[in-house]
Structure 1
Amino acid sequence: MNEGMPKRIKVVLAISVLLNVFLLGAIGGGGYRWYAAERTAAVQPRGLRFAADGLDAGQRRQFLQGLRAARRAVAPEVDAAREGRHQVEQLLRQPQFEREALVAALARTREADAAVRSRIEQSVVDFAATLSPAERQQLADALVQRGPLRTAPAQPRTAAP
């Protein structure tokens, strides 16, 4: 009877070890899949240039060419906006606060940014005018998922104290 006991314990221990290895592998694999899915979701390409990914290659090429042309057309405004932001930074760093100069630099920056946005948006409008209703639906979906029409999930409002 004593001779059978160690054999029985060995079998139970072997089954326990196999079960624990299986469980650890399942937990590790599930954790890895969760981590990989989170990273993949976070890395999804976003931006206006990805809005035409659902369209056929010719239309996608046309869309990207329109965006490139629009960006080239507004290159001076992009530079002006960048310079305006640099001026705002410098004005904020000065020991003496110059309110009028800061307001003027912000206005110039805002005007340049608005001109850039307006031209880029006009390029999207011009492209959308060439699409069928179904293709415009695809473009709208892509703009919501990846482009400038994307919105953050609504956060519940709390009452102010």
Structure 2
Amino acid sequence: MSTGRNFLIASVVLNVFLAGALAGGAVWIRSGKPALGYSLEAAGGRLPDQERMLFRKALREVRRESRDIILDGQQARREAADLLRQPVLDTAALSAALERARNADVTVRTRLEQRIIEFAAAGSADERSVLAEGLTRRAGQQPSATPKKSP
């Protein structure tokens, strides 16, 4: 009974991931460009033309440098999918494959965020403001946490 339950949970998680990927792909195909969300990476699409080109170039470099890690994460997801298709679920192997995929994702995301930090540090206050808007939208409109001046 536990194996069936584990299979069901893993199946639901994988299906949610795949549904999100399909929805994102459909949006991308319909619009001809990726959907701009509310993240630092997406906020870079709102930068002025020259800065946006530099921003995207920097992120492409990170992805190119991280190609092996990205491929390893993709392979780990394929292995997880194959394990889920087996008549008897090997939960230890599934867990290890998903952990490999997660570690690859975290490594690439960390590298991307570090490059964004470097870009922001070299940019103007206006450019950082555009990036900050991306974070603000993601977190929801809340009052700014700017320190108040004391009398």
TM-score (norm 2): 0.61
Which secondary structure does the structure 2 equivalent of 1:127 belong to? helix
Q: What secondary structure does 2:127 align onto?
A: helix
Gaps of 5+ in 2: 1-30, 142-151
Tell me the residue number matched to 2:108.
Answer: 116
Matches within 5 A, 1:2-151: 45-47=35-37, 50-145=42-137, 150-151=138-139
RMSD: 2.6
Q: Residues 45 and 102 of structure 1: is their aligned pair in 2 closer, same or farther, counting only changes over 3 Å?
A: closer
- The ranges of structure 1 where at least 4 consecutive aligned residues each deviate by more than 6 angstroms after the TM superposition are none
Larger radius of gyration: 1
Matched residue pairs, number?
108
User: Larger deviation: 47-56 or 134-143?
Assistant: 47-56
**What stretches of structure 1 of length at least 5 have no aligned partner?**
1-42, 154-161
Q: 1: CA distance between counterparts of 2:89 and 2:35?
A: 41
Deviation for aligned residue 1:45: 3.3
Name which of structure 1's ranges 45-54 and 58-67 shifts more when overlaid on structure 2. Answer: 45-54
